[in-house]
Amino acid sequence: MQAALYNLKIQKRIAVLSVILLIVKTIAWYLTASVAILTDAFESIVNVVAGFIGVYSLYVSAKPMDTDHPYGHGKAEFISAAIEGTMITIAGLIIIYEALNNLIHPHTIKKLDYGIMLTGATGLVNFIAGYICIKTGKRNNSLALISSGKHLQSDTWTTMGIVVGLILLLFTGLAWIDSVVAILFSGFIIYTGYKITRTSVAGIMDEADTALLHKLVLMLNANRKENWIDMHNLRIIKYGSRLHLDCHLTVPWYLNVHEAHEEIDALSGLVKNEFGESVELFVHSDGCLDFSCQICTKSDCKVRKHAFEKKVEWTMENILSNSKHRISRQESQA
């Protein structure tokens, strides 16, 4: 809950900052009449709208779980990111149109030195703000903040490209450079919009986050306890800043309910220590079976029926499967 409120606080500041930067870019365009700066200012309009959409989505996602939304309201962040990505893509297409129009109907550009300084300053501020957003979003698992940060940083690269183009224009006097630079960097804008939209759709569809799963599997292998004989049917679903994780954990069959629950608590503490308190764990405990002996590393088991043969390392492939691990007959005979 605290992480969600902090995300909302950061997003509000970004929304206000976007308004200020839009005003600065508008002044730069008014002074220079540069179509490249105009398109940069147009993208800032998208930043402003996206920023306020992000604020609302984080406000919704920060709401506690209720009877209508038992997993919380975090999916609102994916919808926000989808809207933002679509708007970025549309902005890139409009930039191309305006730049081509300026190539056909060129106009005089003036006061480039002022335009370069003002536009460059907005790019630097955008980069710093984007870095803060991405860092905070990754720490708190907020797609809305990560999307806003990537958007701000993509705006930085386009702004810097525009600044370079304006510097070339200042020294060469070639008016077509203004439009060519705008066209080149609009492609980068469109690609960024596509990536944000693709990520948001993946979240809405509960697509597996392979990077997150890989990190989790490595952590579990490195901290595996002797009573954790097997783990399978591992799944992770994102709900905004909240992660919902469930799995089946195989423990010695003779543990009583309290002892089995202690193992689950240990697993929960390990995961939350790595990923934060925003993780929800639903762990189903299974008792080991006869074939589990062959992969069980427990050294003091007094009811072992088969000799230990091979430790099964948990991988992305075998830990996701919905079946207990065992040694195949071919492996056992080898």
The reply to whether 97 and 238 lie within a common domain is no
Specify the higher pLDDT residue, 145 or 69.
145
- What pLDDT is attached to residue 249? 93
The average pLDDT across 177-203 equals 78
* 175, 231, 240, 249, 286 from 279: Cα distances, Å: 55, 18, 11, 17, 22
- What pLDDT is attached to residue 261? 92
Residue 84 pLDDT exceeds 70: yes
Residue 329 pLDDT exceeds 70: no
126-130, 136-140, 207-211, 328-332: least confidently modelled range: 328-332
- What pLDDT is attached to residue 74? 63
The average pLDDT across 101-106 equals 80
Runs of H (alpha helix) within 205-279: 210-222, 257-275
Would you say how long the chain is, in residues? 334
* Predicted confidence band of residue 240 (pLDDT cuts 50, 70, 90): low
Domain that holds residue 110: 2-204
- What pLDDT is attached to residue 207? 59
The reply to whether 143 and 241 lie within a common domain is no
The average pLDDT across 200-212 equals 69
Q: How would you list the strands of the sheet with 230-239, edge to edge?
A: 230-239, 242-251, 279-287
Q: How far apart are CA 325 and CA 5, in angstroms?
A: 42
- What pLDDT is attached to residue 7? 65
The reply to whether 142 and 246 lie within a common domain is no
Q: Domain end: 204, 238, 269, which one?
A: 204
CA atoms within 13 A on the CB side of 50: 34
The reply to whether 135 and 91 lie within a common domain is yes
Q: Domain end: 186, 204, 222, which one?
A: 204
Amino acid identity at 213:
L
- What pLDDT is attached to residue 264? 92
DSSP assignment, residue 238? Answer: E
Instruction: Classify 45 as helix, strand or coil.
Output: helix
Residues above pLDDT 70, as percent of the chain: 81
- What pLDDT is attached to residue 62? 62
Q: Is the pTM of this model over 0.85?
A: no
- What pLDDT is attached to residue 47? 66
Specify the higher pLDDT residue, 271 or 75.
271
The reply to whether 73 and 194 lie within a common domain is yes
CATH code for position 9: 1.20.1510.10
Number of structural domains the chain divides into:
2
